[in-house]
């Protein structure tokens, strides 16, 4: 018995070492890349106040343009992820980053609503394959029991983009305004978009396509990963593209992801405006206060991921954050001119939305085989992006129609809560790691 226990301990220690090596080799670069990806996605929320004034955009125009990103994201997610399997993760992700870096930088030249719409749509095309592609990539390096904390570590870039991007964007808007003949929002797109092109070239140079091709893992470590992933593959129920479309659990996951994206993008695109509406007039202060919910979100996301892996439980670790997000968004709508109420609600919503995103992505790999993950994850991500269009557009339309975002916030909170309860309809025996 002691010998068996000793062998188990050695095996666990070996797995921990392999996990640590892979994480330190991959995650710093991927984290930085996703941080810029999300920053380039949400910085339009900080640009809104200056840009809408300069270009005479209504809230409806802004909401529609912000949401067009996700229409493109939905249309091109599946083909982009299929291309990743053909071209290879390293070359495809590098290509996407160089293209979206140039498009994001090009936002500084928009001078009309039509130009705004076109560039936001093209930016969505370029980014469509990045996040689902990285998820497929990570699933081919980590066994299921490690993925929640690893995905949380990667997805921490979402709240970090708020923590860093809020003060950074607010500072650029104030301090670079009218510098060298450009407005503050134009400088913001230039400073936050151009580095992505360089990052794309670094990815092309440094990111490995798979663990089989690296020289920093031993043959024994590669064999260990191969055996773990192969064993998990035997449990997967969806092994063909037609199976993706026919399986009811996939469409249940689409509905849940719809709720997750409502939560994430309500905050991403309207938090600065909600804080501004609570009586905070300075762009710099709005940027600093926008970082607070994301800072709490970073901490809660990591804690939730660790707890989920430790307890080998997935459903409640997703349901509770979604309910928190729904509650926080509703609270922010109760007293829109009270800064304490608004910020308190946004902090709770930020914690819930930040944790819900990585926790959701533990569910699809439980059903999807290695050969169907690229298409299946992209399909779920694409349909969920409809919510990413709906959230900014609905709030913008409601603000223009009723001069208040309250009703829209309540409706969004209701849908997010329903998504939280739908999580419990998934089969625990399948989604919880063995």
In eight-state DSSP terms, residue 142 is S
Please provide the DSSP assignment of 291-338 as one string. Answer: HHHHHHHHHHHHHHHHHHHHHT--HHHHHHHHHHHHHHHHHHHH-TT-
Q: Rg of the chain's alpha carbons, rounded to an integer?
A: 21
As given in the structure block, the two tokens for residue 337 are 């001119």
Please give the pLDDT value at position 6. Answer: 40
Please give the pLDDT value at position 91. Answer: 93
From CA 392, how far away is CA 356, in angstroms rounded? 19
**Residue that is written with structure tokens 């392999």 in the block:** 18
From CA 81, how far away is CA 381, in angstroms rounded? 11
The C-alpha angle with vertex 297 and arms to 295 and 303, in degrees rounded to 5, equals 115
Q: Give the end-to-end CA distance of the chain in Å, rounded to a whole number.
A: 23
Closest to 139 measured CA to CA, from 368, 429, 307, 314: 368
Closest to 329 measured CA to CA, from 423, 419, 406: 406
From CA 20, how far away is CA 200, in angstroms rounded? 25
For 14-68, what is each residue's pLDDT tens digit?
777 888 898 899 989 998 888 888 787 777 777 777 888 888 888 788 878 877 8
From CA 160, how far away is CA 37, in angstroms rounded? 11
Residues 6+ apart with CB under 8 A from 13: none
The C-alpha angle with vertex 102 and arms to 210 and 42, in degrees rounded to 5, equals 85
Task: Map out the domains of the chain as residue ranges.
Answer: 22-431
**277 with 397: CB under 8 angstroms?**
no
Q: Is 250 exposed, middle or buried (0-12, 13-18, 19+ CB in 10 A)?
A: buried
> What is the CB neighbour count within 10 angstroms for residue 347?
20
Please give the pLDDT value at position 426. Answer: 87
From CA 214, how far away is CA 209, in angstroms rounded? 9
For 204-247, what is each residue's pLDDT tens digit?
999 998 888 889 988 888 888 888 888 777 666 666 677 777 77
* Whole-structure pTM value: 0.73
Q: Which stretches of 59-143 are DSSP H helices? A: 59-87, 89-106, 113-127, 130-139
Compute mean pLDDT per 10 residues along the chain, 434 residues long, and list them: 43 79 90 84 76 83 80 85 87 93 90 90 89 86 82 80 76 80 85 91 92 89 86 68 78 90 80 79 74 87 89 92 94 85 91 91 82 81 74 71 76 92 87 75
> What is the CB neighbour count within 10 angstroms for residue 2?
6
Q: Is 140 exposed, middle or buried (0-12, 13-18, 19+ CB in 10 A)?
A: middle
Classified by CATH at the fold level, domain 22-431 comes out as: Growth Hormone; Chain: A; (1.20.1250)
Buried b (16+ CB within 10 A) or exposed e, 264-303: bbbbbbbbbbbbbbbebeebbebbbbbbbbbbbbbebbbe
Q: How many CA atoms lie within 13 A of 392 on its CB side?
A: 32
As given in the structure block, the two tokens for residue 174 are 């104030």
Q: Is 1 exposed, middle or buried (0-12, 13-18, 19+ CB in 10 A)?
A: exposed
């Amino acid at each position: 018995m002691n010998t068996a226990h000793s062998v188990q301990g050695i095996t666990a220690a070996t797995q921990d070492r392999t996990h640590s090596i892979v994480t330190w080799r991959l995650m710093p670069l991927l984290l930085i890349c996703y941080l810029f990806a999300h920053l380039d996605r949400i910085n339009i929320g900080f640009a809104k106040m200056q840009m809408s004034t300069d270009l005479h955009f209504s809230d409806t125009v802004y909401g529609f343009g912000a949401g067009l990103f996700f229409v493109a994201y939905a249309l091109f997610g599946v083909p982009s992820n299929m291309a990743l399997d053909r071209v290879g993760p390293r070359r495809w992700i590098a290509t996407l980053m160089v293209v979206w870096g140039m498009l994001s930088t090009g936002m500084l030249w928009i001078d009309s609503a039509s130009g705004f719409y076109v560039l936001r749509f093209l930016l969505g095309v370029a980014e469509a394959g990045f996040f689902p592609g990285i998820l497929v990539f990570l699933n081919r390096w980590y066994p299921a029991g490690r993925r929640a904390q690893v995905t949380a570590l990667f997805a921490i870039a979402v709240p970090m983009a708020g923590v860093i991007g809020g003060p950074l964007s607010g500072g650029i808007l104030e301090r670079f305004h009218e510098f060298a003949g450009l407005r503050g929002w134009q400088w913001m797109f230039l400073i936050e978009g151009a580095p992505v092109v360089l990052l794309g070239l670094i990815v092309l140079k440094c990111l490995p396509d798979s663990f089989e091709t690296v020289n920093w893992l031993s043959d024994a470590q590669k064999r260990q990963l191969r055996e773990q992933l192969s064993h998990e593959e035997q449990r997967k129920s969806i092994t063909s593209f037609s199976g993706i479309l026919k399986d009811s659990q996939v469409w249940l996951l689409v509905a849940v992801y719809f709720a997750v994206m409502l939560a994430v993008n309500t905050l991403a695109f309207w938090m600065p405006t909600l804080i501004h509406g609570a009586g905070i007039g300075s762009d710099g202060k709005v940027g600093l206060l926008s970082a607070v919910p994301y800072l709490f979100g970073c901490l809660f996301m990591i804690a939730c991921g660790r707890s989920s892996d430790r307890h080998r439980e997935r459903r409640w670790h997703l349901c509770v954050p979604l309910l928190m997000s729904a509650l926080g968004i509703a609270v922010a709508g109760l007293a829109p001119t009270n800064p304490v109420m608004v910020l308190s609600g946004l902090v709770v919503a930020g914690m819930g939305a930040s944790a819900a995103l990585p926790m959701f992505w533990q569910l699809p790999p439980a059903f999807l085989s290695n050969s169907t993950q690229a298409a299946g994850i992209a399909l779920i991500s694409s349909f969920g992006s409809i919510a990413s269009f709906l959230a900014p557009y609905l709030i913008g339309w409601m603000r223009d129609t009723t001069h208040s975002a309250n009703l829209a916030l309540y409706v969004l909170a209701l849908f997010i809560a329903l998504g939280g309860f739908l999580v419990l309809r998934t089969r625990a025996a399948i989604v919880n790691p063995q």
